[in-house]
Amino acid sequence: MSYSDQRTPSFGGSHVATLLLRELLDVTDDFERALGDELAVNATDLTAMEHLIVAGALSPTALADRLHLSSAAVTSVVDRLAALGHVRRTPNPDDRRGTLVVPEPASVGRAMGRIVPMVTEINSAIHDFGEAEQVVITRYLEKVVEAYRRHAAPTERPRSWRADAPPTLRASSQRQPQTQPPSRANENRSGPAAL
Whole-number Cα distances in Å, 140 to 18, 123, 183: 11, 16, 28
Q: Does the pTM exceed 0.85?
A: no
Residue 168 has pLDDT above 80, yes or no: no
Q: 32-61 burial, b for 16+ CB within 10 Å, e for fewer?
A: beebbeebebebbbbbbbbbbbbbebbbbe
| 111 in Cβ contact with 84 (< 8 Å) | no
The answer to whether domain 14-114+156-190 has CATH 1.10.10.10 is: yes
One-letter identity of residue 95: D
| Least confident range of 79-83, 93-97, 129-133 | 93-97
Q: What is the mean pLDDT of residues 33-55?
A: 95
Residue 171 has pLDDT above 50, yes or no: no
Q: Tell me, what's the pLDDT at 4?
A: 52
Average pLDDT over the chain reads 81
**Residue 192: pLDDT band with limits 50, 70, 90:** very low
Q: Tell me, what's the pLDDT at 191?
A: 47
Q: 11-28 burial, b for 16+ CB within 10 Å, e for fewer?
A: eeeeeeeeeebeeeeeeb
Percent of the chain scoring above 70 in pLDDT: 73
